Amino acid sequence: MHVNIIDYSIITKVYCKTDHFPFHVISLPFLDSNIAGNISYLVFYSQVLRYQRLSSNKLDFDERCRQLVNILSARGYKLNRLRKEFCRVVDKFRIEFMKWSFPDDLAFWFYEIVR
């Protein structure tokens, strides 16, 4: 977590040290690995929830989700399945996500993030 204090407000965002490495780090499962596909998609689910809990700013959350979707899409993950997991986690933890305003149509929010 990256923390800043600005005008007596605490601003938090996701910090990932591998973002600063001069090489690519493989830290997420490939669909063709020996990990079951449904478990691989649950990694996305859990990361979305983690990003939400670490981010005080919705823009930081959106950017992290976009980066994650891009990585997973390049590995063959299906966008519709990622959308389904995104909607599922937001719906299940809606109270936590209510710290930001977001559309009632969660699929619309997902596609807004990834475009």
Q: Digits of tens for pLDDT over the chain (115 positions)?
A: 888 898 988 888 888 887 878 887 777 888 888 777 788 899 999 999 999 999 999 999 999 999 999 999 999 999 999 999 999 999 999 999 999 999 999 999 999 999 9
pLDDT for position 26: 77
3-state secondary structure of 5: strand
pLDDT for position 98: 96
Task: Break the chain into its structural domains and give their ranges.
Answer: 28-114
pLDDT for position 1: 83
The CA-atom distances, in angstroms, between 25 and each of 1, 2, 4, 30, 40 are 19, 20, 26, 13, 17
Closest CA to 87 of 70, 112, 54, 57: 112
Contact 62, 47 (CB under 8 A): no
Model pTM score: 0.88
pLDDT for position 102: 93
Measured in whole angstroms, the distance separating CA 57 from the mean position of its chain's CA atoms is 13
